Amino acid sequence: MKPSPITPTIDLDAAGVQHGFLRLPYSRDDSAWGSVMIPIAVIRNGEGPTALLTGGNHGDEYEGPLALFDLARTLDPVSVSGTVIIVPAMNYPAFRAGTRTSPIDRGNLNRSFPGRPDGTVTEKIADYFQRELLPRADIVLDFHSGGRTLDFLPFCAAHILPDKAQEASVMAAVEAFSAPWSMRMLEIDAIGMFDTAAEEMGKVFVTTELGGGGTSTAASVRIARRGVMNVLRHSGIVSGAVEKSQTSWLDMPSGDCFCFAEEDGMAETMVDLGDAVCEGDVIARIHAIGRTGVAPVDIRAKMSGILAARHFPGLVKAGDCMSVVAVVDR
Ligand code: ZN
């Protein structure tokens, strides 16, 4: 395969603290020989495992970038045994635009793996992570939240995996993160995800959904900052005990977790995040917006549990994910 067109401006193997960029050539109207400059920091000290910490895989999710720009600035290499690679905003064009996908090619980075060295800008970023950064990592923490269109209970998550030893390792890392909720996550569409790429390489891969709505809260950013340090402590890269706090496990046992809108309209949530729901309960209504005198359409829970995620904007379109119900593990 062709080499990646991306060049790091720092030596990824050097000791100490390096701040630089992954430079991706991108010729365009306003910069003939221009580049996309993706910020990267590497903090390395002695022998030990390597953690790859990423945010901004989707450009409108902020807990990850807030925690990781901060960590890159403050993590003292003396406290590190091993290597911490920090990319606070993976899909940097999307991050700068404040959008989920790239404004350059509409690429959803988390559906672009394994990527291509000769593909679109987004595919080139995926390819660099696939072939250059993931192979270096022992543990990967990829921050997400709901972005502009979803809102989540704050949870750290990992997937049920075919390799049960790997699954035990990822669930232990989720537990160490110590978000208020911990999720055994089911994906609607796992093909092309960074998660899948890392898991297939046998890495310990953990992710989060820490809120949403295209913003962050004081609480969600605190969870992110504590969680990333906990994962570094858990993996032995930073010394000290994990700062444990109460976490409750959630399951997504089947596709019945999800409800999707079947018409356009105005959304009314009937339960809030964390509320208990029973199978058959109306969890949201979609109101017609074209005329008066039309009854709203009820969206009913297909299983019992708690509301773990919901559609965020006031207006909804057919096909939008309206809600996710998860089962509390007791
Ligand atoms: Zn995301």
Non-local CB neighbours of 257 within 8 Å, separated by 6+ positions: 186, 302, 303, 305, 308, 324, 325, 326
The residues of the chain that CATH labels 2.40.50.100 are 255-328
Å from CA of 218 to ligand 1 middle: 19
User: Mean pLDDT in the chain?
Assistant: 97
- pTM passes above 0.85: yes
Q: What is the pLDDT of residue 2?
A: 95
d(CA 282, CA 263): 16
Residue ranges in the chain modelled with pLDDT below 70: none
The residues of the chain that CATH labels 3.40.630.10 are 7-250
Q: Give the DSSP letter string of 161-175.
A: -SSHHHHHHHHHHHH
Å from CA of 143 to ligand 1 middle: 7
What CATH number should be reported for the domain whose range is 255-328?
A: 2.40.50.100
Å from CA of 21 to ligand 1 middle: 22
Å from CA of 146 to ligand 1 middle: 6
Å from CA of 108 to ligand 1 middle: 9
Å from CA of 155 to ligand 1 middle: 13
Å from CA of 68 to ligand 1 middle: 15
Q: What is the pLDDT of residue 189?
A: 81
Q: What are phi and psi of 136, to 5 degrees?
A: -80, -20
Q: What's the CATH superfamily of 7-250?
A: Zn peptidases (3.40.630.10)
**Both tokens of residue 266?**
């105005």
**Both tokens of residue 45?**
């000290």
Q: What is the pLDDT of residue 250?
A: 97
Å from CA of 144 to ligand 1 middle: 4
Under 8 Å between Cβ of 181 and 223: no
Å from CA of 291 to ligand 1 middle: 35
Q: What is the pLDDT of residue 10?
A: 98
Å from CA of 83 to ligand 1 middle: 25
Q: What is the pLDDT of residue 187?
A: 83
Å from CA of 142 to ligand 1 middle: 9
Å from CA of 62 to ligand 1 middle: 10
Å from CA of 192 to ligand 1 middle: 13
Non-local CB neighbours of 291 within 8 Å, separated by 6+ positions: none
Å from CA of 32 to ligand 1 middle: 31
E strands, 46-176, in order: 50-54, 82-87, 139-142, 150-152, 155-159
Å from CA of 45 to ligand 1 middle: 31
